[in-house]
Copies of this chain bind each other. A is one copy, B any other.
Amino acid sequence: MTTISKESAIVTLINVFTVEPEKQKKLIDLLIQATEKTMRHLPGFISANIHRSIDGKQVVNYAQWRSRQDFEAMLKNPAAIPHMQEIASFTKFEPNLYEVVESIGV
């Protein structure tokens, strides 16, 4: 289980993937595989949370890293690059780094 809190001094990667609906399942499987095999073992990884859009056209990875430096080191890691290249071959994606500024619950 992942928690979202503005008290955590972490960075959040929100990566929105656009995909043909018939390939949404394939993308989800590859993201899970990349996370299980590689990402989760890298320094600073905290969590990855894969979301499928109900309309079938998007997938979001909501991921947490200890620091921006850890995230940027992952981007250059030789074990991570082939996963990202495979996914890039059939999707468009827009990753961005965030910090939580407010969390309001009932």
8 Å CB contact of A51 from B60, B101, B104 = B101
Assembled-state Cα–Cα distance A54/B54 (Å) = 28
8 Å CB contact of A102 from B4, B5, B12, B32 = B32
With A1-B5, A3-B3, A32-B104 as known contacts, state yes or no: A51 contacts B16, CB within 8 Å: no
A40 touches B3 (CB 8 A): no
Assembled-state Cα–Cα distance A48/B4 (Å) = 10
8 Å CB contact of A106 from B46, B49, B68, B104 = B46
Which A51-106 residues have C-beta < 8 A from chain B?
A: 51-55, 58, 60, 62, 68, 96-106
8 Å CB contact of A103 from B2, B14, B55, B106 = B2
